Amino acid sequence: MAAGIITTSDRELREVLAASTPEVRELTLAARRLILDVLPQTVEVVWPAQRSAGYGTGPKKNSEQFVWLLPFAAHLAMAFPYGVELPDPAGLLGGTGARIRNVRIATAEDLARPELRALVEAATRHRVPPPPAEITVR
């Protein structure tokens, strides 16, 4: 586990991923590493009942999180709570909701796109409070 991350528990994330294919499990864990690389102080919250995980500067889903990981049968969705407001010159974001947009990740190449990293970087600074100086790992 990365230093400084609050997580519900690594076990809970792996339980959420247990129903996914090995490919989707690896994509999800790689997306998690990308998020933590962009913002090492990221707070992770796993929602087993929703089969998803949220990442932000605090645990509050609607006011402190900047991206959610949602593993599906054949792909991973990276959902951005304020995706309609993020810069997306490459046109990666899909969806028709009033504010949420997502990027469908089906391959490691999808995840490695610099434009995706730029979206995550922009999301860390958009409508979320700054990360705390120190985070307690539980």
Mean pLDDT, contiguous 10-residue spans, the chain (138 residues)? 56 89 96 94 91 93 94 95 97 96 97 98 94 59
Contact partners, residue 122, CB within 8 Å, separation at least 6: 86, 87
Q: What is the pLDDT of residue 19?
A: 86
Structure tokens, 26 = 């690896």
pTM score: 0.89
Q: Residue 27: count other Cβ atoms within 10 Å of its Cβ.
A: 24
Q: How far apart (Å, rounded) are the C-alpha atoms in residues 78 and 94?
A: 10
